[in-house]
Structure 1
């Protein structure tokens, strides 16, 4: 049986924020959105005005930032590293960071400092999908075109996608990939 909704208080919002941050990393803006959604649900159920709780949400987010629970830079660095390990392109990572509320200037600066390049990430994506040097057997021109298109849809440039798909030797391709790619 569902508990009856209770009006938001600073203490309840802080507990909600801590519960969320215990499970997920978050940026300042993303935490604000999470708390807003929670307040919206409760306010709708209790027929309250959600705008009355905006200040409470802001102060809860600021408390989390001051205490070090929320740090946009650390969150973005961790997210970039995680996305690169998954073989994601710089364009896609930027889109993810924007969706999570990380400032575009910070995201661009961190992406510029990032060690891995799009070629290395494209190699990871190609290996997972068995494209290019990781495919079994030979590929005809039509299959290569489809593999290039798949990598381009993931946000890699045509040049990088073509370089990875047309490569013969995976090790040489990985050795050639440098941080500035």
Structure 2
């Protein structure tokens, strides 16, 4: 409960945290961690039933937060999947329109000082700027629009 008070987490993440804590306790006390698997499953199920853990709410909130920070829809999907959110919810939460993706790319470029926000010569660093946005998960069309654009 202390973990859920401090952090929003999907069911998969809560299960991993509980397994880690059980494993540490079993190492200390000399017990077998596999014997606590049903207890972990019951605890996660109770938290889901009580509304303390809601994967859909977590996915939507986390996707919105990451998008405001300038993450691409691909990066959002990867981070949600790493947290243990199921595929259907990941696809639903990470889906974005081209305008939203362009806005996120502009935020990313501004944060990394790429394209119109760079301090140096834009022509010499164009390829590096495009590569940085491509590595961040943005399509080449969107990367070109941002790097060759006028900024805000």
Determine the structure 2 residue equivalent to 1:103. 86
Unaligned runs of 5+ in 2: none
Q: What SS class does the counterpart of residue 20 from structure 1 fall into?
A: helix
Partners of 1:35 and 1:25 in 2: CA distance: 14
Whether the 8 Å contact between 1:84 and 1:116 is mirrored in structure 2 is no
Determine the structure 2 residue equivalent to 1:89. 72
Q: Over alpha carbons, which structure has the higher Rg?
A: 1
Per-residue deviation at 1:139?
Answer: 1.4
Give the paired residue count: 152
Per-residue deviation at 1:102?
Answer: 0.5
Q: Does 1:161 align with 2:143?
A: yes
Note the alpha carbon deviations across 1:70-107, whole angstroms, 9 max, x for none: 00000000100110011001111100010011011111
Q: Does 1:150 align with 2:145?
A: no
Partners of 2:71 and 2:137 in 1: CA distance: 8
TM-score when normalising by structure 1: 0.79
Determine the structure 1 residue equivalent to 2:14. 31
Per-residue deviation at 1:138?
Answer: 3.7
Q: Which moved more, 1:130-139 or 1:46-55?
A: 130-139
Per-residue deviation at 1:58?
Answer: 0.7
Instruction: Output the aligned Cα RMSD.
Output: 1.7
Determine the structure 2 residue equivalent to 1:19. 2
